[in-house]
Amino acid sequence: MKRFLTILFTALLLTAALCVTASASDYDAVAKDLSAIGMFRGTAGGFELDRAPTRSEAAIMLVRLYGAEEEAKAAYEAGEIKHPFTDVSDFAAPYVAWVYTNGISNGTSATTFGSADKCSAQNYVVFLLRALGYKDGTDFQYAEAKDFAVTKGLMDLSFYTGEFLRDDLAAVTYQALACDLADGSTYLLDSLIQDGAVDADAAKPITEKITNYQALLDATYSTMQNSIDANISMKMDMGLSFSGSALEDTEVAAMLAGTAMNDMNIALDASGRVQMILAEQPQLAMTLKMNATAMGEKESGEVSYWLKDGWVYIQVTESGETFQAKYQMEGLDEFMETYQELMQLSTQIGGSASLPYIDSIAVSKSGSNTVYTVTYSDGINGLFDDILGAVMAEVPDEDLEGLGMSLSLDSCSYTYTLNSKGELKACTAVLDMNMGMDMSDEEIGSLSMVYNIKADVKMDINATDSGVKIQYPSKLSQFPEIVGGNSPLPLYTA
């Protein structure tokens, strides 16, 4: 019983930690896009995304990324390039000869290339960086190649957890096509088109996606890195239900009832305003009015949050009662420095790192406004699946015994509205997500949990930059101080 309850508690914690994400891998659409431009080809068994790529397959991809496929074939046929390896197939021979002759890749010994050996994420990332024009030993060190690659827009969680598969190879190759070359002249796919290595018409769906997404990122970045005043609204429906033979056990049933989570359904409707001034001394004001219905009971309240001169002020009004508190925020300078670095990094890498997870970017006009609608593909489930794996890896093995998890993002789309000046004016996010957990115990039986979230969030921007003016309540200084600071909880007030 104790172990079963531990598993259940672990499951509930993971639910809380992951309720804003989703899961289950599929980069098949990415592989098809790469196949359309001759970059990625399958076998008689299809794309075989669920196995590790070989070193010879990586060499083939690398030659294509250099735009040298036809050159390699012709040079090998003419005897101008060759290799000394005995384990290379006739098909892979021109590619291996090209990378070997150009000093890009050596073998695993004097006579073997290691053709059938698995290509690691480290190896492939180095190949991609070289294709972008970066030099190992000068621009980056081999041991730090993956970290350097992330700063250039190449990111896959298999870099740090799990096995590197053809699935991952397809995703990071797709990202590389959108990355700028080391000399900053253009991005890789455009360079390949200019060199005649990739057909422009075949690549048009990808180039349009890259161009549209980068334009969108530039607009949203300029808005979010400075100051903003926006109205926000949110509608969210959440449902959590349990089933299984374990519910017949009185202790399990009592625990679920005690947490008020059994067959829980919550409808939340919130609206308010947020103002942020992201300067050296950041300022913030946010107020949300919320109405919630949980298990047939209705509740309403208002939460206000202010940040001024390094102090955090909180006011919560519910059922006619008001709670107020303040505390001094520590590490604010470090936080702002990290925030600005993250914003800069997200703009630098976002246009390429996010592409494998985007199904389409539709661009339309609404009067003088331009509307971008970004729809995410099943590929994003692969990202979340990796995230889930990383979280699960941190949980003690004894807590995972008898626990199975599944997540899926059924739909996810964002709509961005830009004015005639290219400034972000509104943003809407709509998602439908499910999470499932199955637990079993020889003594108690089985328990299944299904958690669903449907959310619709909208932000309308009133002003940015110097147009943002925050008016603070006059009585903030009278709020009672939280002893110890850095805690928003209404405990131990002075």
Round to whole Å and give the CA distance between 411 and 120: 32
Answer yes or no: do 9 and 53 share one domain: no
Dihedral class, residue 142 (left if φ above 0, else alpha if ψ from -120 to 50, else beta): alpha
The gap from C-alpha 105 to its chain's centroid, in whole angstroms, comes to: 32
- Whether residue 210 contacts residue 178, with contact meaning beta carbons closer than 8 Å, is answered with yes
Which CA distances in Å does 404 have to 53, 309, 401, 447? 28, 47, 9, 11
Round to whole Å and give the CA distance between 141 and 148: 9
Answer yes or no: do 56 and 71 share one domain: yes
Going by DSSP bridges, is the β-strand pair 311-318/321-328 parallel, antiparallel, or unpaired? Answer: antiparallel
Dihedral class, residue 103 (left if φ above 0, else alpha if ψ from -120 to 50, else beta): left
3-state DSSP of 58-81: HHHHHHHHCCCHHHHHHHHHCCCC
Q: Which residue has the tokens 């969680």?
A: 157
Answer yes or no: do 203 and 229 share one domain: no
Q: Tell me, yes or no, whether 64 lies in a domain.
A: yes
Eight-state DSSP code of residue 108: S
Answer yes or no: do 261 and 350 share one domain: yes
Number of domains, the chain: 2
Q: Tell me, yes or no, whether 91 lies in a domain.
A: yes
Answer yes or no: do 7 and 55 share one domain: no
Residue 395: predicted pLDDT: 56
Answer yes or no: do 145 and 228 share one domain: no
Q: Tell me, yes or no, whether 265 lies in a domain.
A: yes
DSSP 159-221: GTSS---HHHHHHHHHHHHHSBPTTSSSBHHHHHHHTTSS-HHHHHHHHHHHHHHHHHHHHHH
Residue 216: predicted pLDDT: 87
Residue 260: predicted pLDDT: 44
Q: Tell me, yes or no, whether 426 lies in a domain.
A: yes
Beta bridge pairs of residue 439: 403, 447
Residue 40 corresponds to which tokens in the numbers above? 């990625």
Residue 22: predicted pLDDT: 32
Residue 21: predicted pLDDT: 33
Domain that holds residue 259: 2-13+222-274+326-478
Answer yes or no: do 201 and 243 share one domain: no
Residue 238: predicted pLDDT: 82
Residue 139: predicted pLDDT: 93
Answer yes or no: do 269 and 121 share one domain: no
Q: Tell me, yes or no, whether 316 lies in a domain.
A: no
- Whether residue 131 contacts residue 65, with contact meaning beta carbons closer than 8 Å, is answered with yes
Answer yes or no: do 362 and 226 share one domain: yes
DSSP, collapsed to helix, strand or coil, labels residue 300 as: strand
Answer yes or no: do 56 and 112 share one domain: yes
Closest CA to 75 of 98, 106, 43: 98
Q: Tell me, yes or no, whether 25 lies in a domain.
A: yes
Q: Tell me, yes or no, whether 318 lies in a domain.
A: no
Residue 428 corresponds to which tokens in the numbers above? 């809407």
Which CA distances in Å does 356 have to 157, 173, 187, 196, 472? 13, 9, 16, 24, 43
Eight-state DSSP code of residue 118: B
Which CA distances in Å does 361 have to 57, 150, 176, 384, 451? 31, 23, 19, 21, 29
Eight-state DSSP code of residue 181: P
Round to whole Å and give the CA distance between 353 and 172: 8
The gap from C-alpha 481 to its chain's centroid, in whole angstroms, comes to: 37
User: 188 Cβ partners below 8 Å, 6+ apart?
Assistant: 65, 131, 132, 176, 177, 178, 179, 180, 181
In the Cβ-directed half-sphere of 174, how many Cα atoms lie within 13 Å? 31
Q: Which amino acid is at 187?
A: Y
Q: What is the pLDDT along the chain (494 residues), one digit of tens a residue?
A: 333 334 334 444 444 433 333 333 467 888 899 999 988 887 766 788 888 899 999 999 999 999 999 999 999 999 999 999 999 999 999 999 999 998 888 888 989 999 999 988 888 999 899 999 999 889 999 889 988 998 888 887 677 667 888 888 998 999 999 999 999 999 999 999 999 999 999 999 999 999 998 888 888 876 666 788 999 999 988 887 777 777 676 666 666 654 444 456 788 899 999 998 877 678 899 999 988 887 677 888 899 999 998 889 999 988 778 999 998 877 656 655 665 555 555 555 556 778 888 888 999 999 999 999 999 887 666 666 666 666 556 555 554 555 666 667 778 889 999 999 888 899 999 988 877 777 776 666 777 777 788 999 999 999 988 889 999 998 898 999 876 544 444 333 33
Answer yes or no: do 192 and 339 share one domain: no
Q: Tell me, yes or no, whether 208 lies in a domain.
A: yes
Round to whole Å and give the CA distance between 71 and 63: 9
Which CA distances in Å does 29 have to 40, 65, 102, 136, 377? 12, 19, 33, 32, 8
Answer yes or no: do 259 and 368 share one domain: yes
